[in-house]
A = this chain, B = another copy of it.
Amino acid sequence: MPRFQPKNPDFRRAATAVFDAQPAMHTLRISIARLDAGEVELAMPYSAAFAQQNGFVHAGIITAGLDNACGIAAYTLMAPGAAILTVEFKTNLLAPAKGERFLFRAEVIKPGRTLTFCEARAFAFDGAKESLVATMTGTLMALTPRAQRAEKEATDSALA
Contacts from A to B (Cβ < 8 Å): 18, 21-24, 26-27, 48-53, 58-61, 63-68, 85-96, 109-110, 114-115, 117, 119, 132, 135, 137, 139, 141
Q: Which residues of B contact A137 (CB under 8 A)?
A: 90, 92, 135, 137
What are the nearest 4 A-B pairs in CB distance? Answer: A60-B64, A24-B58, A21-B53, A90-B90
Q: Which residues of B contact A27 (CB under 8 A)?
A: 49-50
Query: Are the C-beta atoms of A110 and B88 separated by less than 8 Å?
Result: no
CA distance A73 to B78 in the complex (A): 31
Residue of B nearest to A119 (CB): B135
Query: Are the C-beta atoms of B49 and A58 separated by less than 8 Å?
Result: no
Query: Are the C-beta atoms of B93 and A85 separated by less than 8 Å?
Result: yes
Q: Which residues of B contact A90 (CB under 8 A)?
A: 88-91, 137
User: With A109-B132, A117-B94, A137-B135 in contact, do A24 and B60 touch (Cβ < 8 Å)?
Assistant: yes
Selected contact of A51 from candidates B24, B94, B96, B110, CB within 8 Å: B24
